[in-house]
Amino acid sequence: MDLEVVPIVEESGRPDGVVRCCVYHEGRLAREFRPEEVDGLALGPDEFVWIGLHEPPPEMLRRIQKRFGLHELAVEDALRAHQRPKVEEFEDSIFVVVKTADWDEKKRVMNLGETHIFVGRDYVVSVRHGPSLPHAPVRQRAEAAPQLLAKGPGYVLYALLDFVVDNYFPLVDELEDSVEQLETKLFAGPPKPKITKRIYALRRELGVFKRVVLPLLDCMHKLMRIDSRLVPEDVRIYFRDVYDHVVRLNESTDQLREIVHSALEANLALISVRQNETMQMLAAWAAILALPTLIAGVWGMNVNVWPNDQTTWGFGAILVLMATTCMGLWWRFRRIGWL
Number of structural domains, the chain? 2
Q: Is pLDDT of 280 > 80?
A: no
Q: What is the pLDDT of residue 308?
A: 58
Domain that holds residue 328: 271-336
- Output the average pLDDT for the chain: 82
- pLDDT class of 7 with cuts at 50, 70, 90: very low
Q: What is the pLDDT of residue 314?
A: 65
Query: β-pairing, 47-54 with 123-129?
Result: parallel
Q: Are residues 5 and 135 in the same domain?
A: yes
Q: What is the pLDDT of residue 141?
A: 92
**For residue range 111-157, what is the model confidence (pLDDT) as tens digits?**
889 999 999 989 999 999 988 888 889 999 999 999 999 999 999 99
163 belongs to a structural domain: no
Q: What is the pLDDT of residue 339?
A: 67
Q: Is pLDDT of 188 > 80?
A: no
Q: Are residues 135 and 2 in the same domain?
A: yes
Instruction: Specify the pTM.
Output: 0.77
The CATH number assigned to the domain holding 311 equals: 1.20.58.340
The CATH number assigned to the domain holding 2 equals: 3.30.460.20
Strand, helix or coil for residue 24 = strand
Q: Are residues 145 and 2 in the same domain?
A: yes
Mean pLDDT calculated for residue range 267-271: 73
Mean pLDDT calculated for residue range 260-280: 76
Q: Is pLDDT of 176 > 80?
A: yes
Distances (CA, A) of 121 to 29, 124, 125, 201: 17, 9, 12, 44
172 belongs to a structural domain: no
Query: Is 290 or 9 the better-scoring residue by pLDDT?
Result: 290
- pLDDT class of 291 with cuts at 50, 70, 90: confident
62 belongs to a structural domain: yes
- Identity of the amino acid at 130: G
Distances (CA, A) of 155 to 22, 105, 207, 229: 15, 33, 31, 12
| Residue at which a domain ends, from 150, 179, 202 | 150
**For residue range 30-69, what is the model confidence (pLDDT) as tens digits?**
989 888 888 888 888 889 999 999 888 888 899 999 998 9
Mean pLDDT calculated for residue range 284-313: 69
| Residue at which a domain ends, from 100, 131, 150 | 150
167 belongs to a structural domain: no
Residue 50 DSSP one-character state? E
Q: What span, in angstroms and rounded, lies between the C-alpha atoms of 309 and 302? A: 11
213 belongs to a structural domain: no
Q: What span, in angstroms and rounded, lies between the C-alpha atoms of 37 and 22? A: 12
Q: What is the pLDDT of residue 301?
A: 63
Mean pLDDT calculated for residue range 234-247: 90
| Residue at which a domain ends, from 150, 184, 216 | 150
160 belongs to a structural domain: no
Q: What is the pLDDT of residue 186?
A: 78
**For residue range 201-235, what is the model confidence (pLDDT) as tens digits?**
888 889 989 999 999 999 998 888 887 778 888 88
Which residues, 6 or more positions from 269, have their beta carbon under 8 angstroms from its beta carbon? none
Q: Where are the alpha helices (DSSP H) in 128-225?
A: 136-143, 146-149, 153-166, 168-186, 193-224
250 belongs to a structural domain: no
**For residue range 59-102, what is the model confidence (pLDDT) as tens digits?**
889 999 999 899 999 999 998 888 889 999 988 899 999 999 88
